[in-house]
Chains A and B, each alone.
Chain A
Amino acid sequence: MKEIFLIAITIMIFVIIFQISKASEYVSVLKGEEKSRKQNNKINAFMLISFLVLGLIGVWYCNELYYGKTLFPQGSGSVEGEEVDWMLKVTIAITGIVFIITQVLLFWFAYKYQEKDNKKAFFFAHNTKLELIWTTVPAIFLTGLVVFGLKFWFKITGDPPQNHHVVEITGQQFAWSIRYPGKDGVLGKKNYKLYNQPTGNTLGVDFEDDKSWDDLKTTEMHLPVGVPVKLVINAMDVIHNVGLPHFRMKMDAVPGIPTTQWFTPQYTTADMKKRTGNPNFTYEISCDQMCGKGHFSMRGVIVVETEAEYKKWISEQTPDYFTLFPDKNPLKMIDTSSAANKPLAQVVEKK
């Protein structure tokens, strides 16, 4: 019923607008087309300048409303992201100035040079000096932006600092799996053909490779604050993207082609809860590459915590190898479990 009512109203409005428009056309014919054209011209010129003024107020108002909801006020969760924020601000400032100047000129010229009876347009076909100025000035500013942008780009795509640790993240429709390399610091080999849902080897880890025996598989990613982390990014099925808005980072997860991304978390989740004033604040991993019907629900969680908390957490994780092969090969089990148990024990000791 409500819908029919809405449709009826819409059609009514259409009909009314159409009748008014039709009538105004007749009126303009009666009044003299030239005269009514000139009236319309004045009205539209006035509308253009009003649009400029109201538009600029709107831009300011929009900023008042929504600046607080962007990521700027809470600051970057990663050390590297601060440079992104800085560059964003510089770019906003430069483009903002250009935006205001050009839009003001556009609408102001339109208003100021509206048709007047006693006036004639000025024949002005070209001016080399002017054209040179507005070729070189933008070029200079752009060079500056490129230089700073590339400096940062090479830093972030270059090698991570020596003290980094490695975490693997794998996307599949529609969840993230996290793998830690364990005590040996090396992730075990993988082969997608070893994927086996029933046994739980959902990442296709090659357990023939003893490097994999101490690897930890988790659903949440825990990171110690202040330590650079290098993510090794994989996908099982289609292209996903590890979107880390709070850290200002993003990298595709491509099946068959591992990618990497590193950053240094600088605030723990608890810090961020305070900074944002939001007790539910969570570092979220959003899938940023269309990956199917559940794309919007492909959420991961990163917990950034202090070194001590992190060590406690990681010591509580059981290597995947134990959970997958508790009894498959009992003889081998005893050997390997003791071998794999040792590093785990060391982790605990070290803590």
Chain B
Amino acid sequence: MSSEAILQSSELHVDHDTHHEHHHHETFISKYVFSQDHKMIAKQFLITGIIWAIIGGLFSVIFRLQLGYPDQTFPWLEDFLGHWAKGGKLQPEFYYALVTMHGTVLVFFVLTAGLSGTFANFLIPLQIGARDMASPLLNMLSYWFFFLASVIMVSSLFVQTGPASGGWTVYPPLSALGEASSGSKIGMDLWLVSMAMFIVSSLLGGLNYITTILNMRTKGMSMTRMPLTMWALFFTAVLGVLSFPVLLSGAILLLFDRNLGTSFFLSDIVVAGKILPNEGGSAILFQHLFWFLGHPEVYIILLPAMGIASEIMSVNSRKPIFGYMAMVGSLFSICILAFLVWAHHMFVTGLNPFLGAVFVLLTLLIAVPSAIKVFNWLTTLWKGNIRFTPGMLFAIGFVSMFISGGLTGIFLGNSALDIHLHDTYFVIAHFHIVMGVASFMGMFAGVYHWFPKMYGRFLNNTLAYIHFWITLIGAYLIFWPMHYQGLAGMPRRYYDFSNWESFKQFGGLNEFISLVAMIVFAAQLLFVFNFFYSIFKGRKVTEKNPWQANTLEWTTPIRPGHGNWPGEIPEVHRWAYDYAKLGKNGEDFIPQNVPVGDDEEKH
């Protein structure tokens, strides 16, 4: 039935193509709030993501104050946080709440919704040549479920007992028992309900992305002619659709354990002097359910950034991406392997050693497609004619971060080393570099590259360059030394190290890291300012194709209306990477909608 509806609606569009934009007299509500235009929904995801990123980033700055300056008090903190910062000193409960929220917000609300929500919505119809998503209504609902999840998560920040504080992985029994931690009271229920809403949002979005890519490509756009962004977003959506439901089941079982007296994850527990009746559950079961999503999740975050970086590097090197099929193949194998490695987060839970060995093997296998991608990016730069647009710089930054963080994955994926490095600062360094910063770099690259398409204006270049350089240098300054802290055995999620003979030698370094973190955070605010300022006052885009790119979105008008192309949707005749070829008018690129000349070989 839905496919019929799609057909009808697309026929409708075709009929009205020529005077498409004059037909919609949209109200403010239908244009900006409950919009069904994929481009507006993408902007909604992006701006909500930016707001969340500011909140999540600010949390990290606040808890870095505690780590960097454990002996000092900050009276103004009490003004903002009340009893959570009594006497200007962050309370341990709230420190852990901040750590938990920082993780939750950035992993899910920023780097999942903000990254793939933005670019899947914005780019899929534009790059495959469709007027909108398969189901604009579900697409709109996807955003509003995300919004609802956001409202619930924000509300949990204001409850008396504080938000969830058991870490973003919310392992029970800690997260199941209010007696074990004040963050495991009502704040934890809100966290779970919010995540359930988030999963609904993610599924609605993901199903839409997959359907659209599979069914609504324009004439001539075979799967192997799609830009790599499309492949990356496609695999991302597949990962999300197959793994998020498992987290939903975990969340619901945990809600049952918390509120209905079941014992899925609870057994043999004495908490706060109280003997609990629960027997027969397994705390480890939750970890399996969590990481069955949790590991694909890191690829849900990373793959879109890979796709974006591939596209932008090719455009700005003025060269085809090297090894297109190998890039698609490695995305595919990463997608498959992502489902088979979840237990490498659980090497020290008492996992069966043989099972552990299988997961070691599968985990290290991922290094192979990752290596292929890195070498292909390097070869894409080789003998290029590189333009350092802000997007390109961030794409290069992405590759640098991906290399640095990916290599430390080889340490942690090897169980014999993980047994030493697990849950130390080494892990923090690893995943912040490879998943956090690298994905942020990909996201920034995308925003700088497609901002002209989104708003018909450019972002300020000088601010962009300042933003890039502070971010790249700052990220290395923050996270590189953390490897050393990890090699000293320093555990994660410690509020204070001063009582530990083994870990207190890094006082000066902690202070340095906190200082850099604040500067980097300030640089992100520069970006936010640039973003909102440029929406209204940025330099106007004067040509359809400012980056001289091949993909279809640059054949639309500078400010495309709902439906994207005023006339017919262009037909595709070639792949997206015909750069470094001589075009008709002497350009060095041939867009996808240009027919193949007689003297060309086909792709």
Contact = CB atoms under 8 A, between A and B. Distances in A.
Contacts of A148: 416
A114 B489 CA distance: 43
Given A47-B469, A110-B386, A126 B324 contact: yes
Given A91-B410, A237-B270, A25 B284 contact: no
A257 interface: yes
Contacts of B177: 237-238
B349 A153 contact: no
A102 to B, nearest CB: 5
A24 interface: yes
Contacts of B182: 293
Interface in A164-185: 172-173
B378 A102 contact: yes
Interface in B486-540: 487-489, 491-497, 499-503, 505-506, 509, 522, 525-526, 529-530, 539
Interface in B374-429: 374-379, 381-388, 393, 396, 399-400, 403-404, 407-408, 410-411, 414-417, 419-420, 422-424
A40 interface: yes
A142 B91 CA distance: 44
A24 B460 CA distance: 9
B462 interface: yes
A138 interface: yes
A197 B489 contact: no
Nearest to A67: B484
Contact of B283 (A58, A69, A157, A255): A255
B396 A255 contact: no
Contacts of A20: 462
Interface stretch (B25-33, B134-142, B313-321, B553-561): B313-321
Contacts of B393: 44, 48
B411 A88 contact: yes
B218 interface: no
Contacts of A192: 268-270, 275
B417 A289 contact: no
Contact of B396 (A24, A25, A110, A281): A110
Contact of A290 (B167, B415, B461): B167
A55 interface: yes
B256 interface: no
B154 to A, nearest CB: 23
Interface stretch (B8-16, B36-44, B104-112, B360-368): B360-368
Contact of A41 (B269, B357, B388, B503): B388
Interface in B258-306: 266-273, 275, 279, 281-284
Assign chain B's interface to a size class.
35 or more
B480 A153 contact: no
B62 interface: no
A347 interface: no
Contacts of A303: none
Contacts of A211: none
B386 A286 contact: no
B491 A286 contact: yes
Interface in A1-32: 3, 10, 14, 17-18, 20-22, 24-25, 28-29
A113 B385 contact: yes
A252 B375 CA distance: 38
Interface stretch (B144-152, B444-452, B573-581): B573-581
A69 B485 CA distance: 8
A290 B166 CA distance: 7
A238 B180 contact: yes
Contact of A99 (B271, B407, B423): B407
Contacts, number: 378
Contacts of A172: 270
B360 A149 contact: yes
Contacts of A241: 348, 423
Interface stretch (A216-224, A294-302, A319-327, A336-344): A294-302
A152 B379 contact: no
B403 A106 contact: yes
Interface string A245-289: 110111110111101100000000000000000101110101111
Interface residues of A, number: 122
B463 A239 contact: no
A250 B348 contact: yes
A144 to B, nearest CB: 10
Given A21-B462, A146-B360, A254 B320 contact: no
Contact of B353 (A116, A158, A257): A158
A116 B388 CA distance: 12
A123 B503 CA distance: 53
Given A193-B275, A243-B489, A150 B381 contact: no
B473 interface: yes
A259 B350 contact: yes
Given A45-B388, A197-B273, A282-B501, A125 B356 contact: no
A157 B354 CA distance: 9
A102 B177 CA distance: 48
A17 B270 contact: no
B514 to A, nearest CB: 14
Nearest to A47: B469
Interface of B: 76, 91-93, 96, 165-167, 171, 173-174, 177, 180-182, 266-273, 275, 279, 281-284, 317-326, 348-350, 353, 356-357, 360-361, 364-365, 367-368, 371-372, 374-379, 381-388, 393, 396, 399-400, 403-404, 407-408, 410-411, 414-417, 419-420, 422-424, 460-463, 465-466, 469, 472-473, 476, 480-481, 484-485, 487-489, 491-497, 499-503, 505-506, 509, 522, 525-526, 529-530, 539, 577, 579-581, 588, 603
> Lowest 7 CB-CB distances: which A-B pairs, in order?
A245-B489, A256-B267, A259-B350, A157-B353, A21-B462, A256-B268, A66-B484
12 contacts: A70-B487, A91-B414, A113-B382, A120-B588, A121-B319, A148-B416, A237-B180, A293-B93, A293-B165, A293-B181, A293-B182, A299-B499
Given A121-B579, A149-B417, 14 more contacts: A17-B526, A18-B529, A25-B460, A51-B473, A58-B480, A71-B488, A88-B420, A120-B588, A197-B273, A239-B174, A241-B348, A245-B502, A288-B491, A289-B171
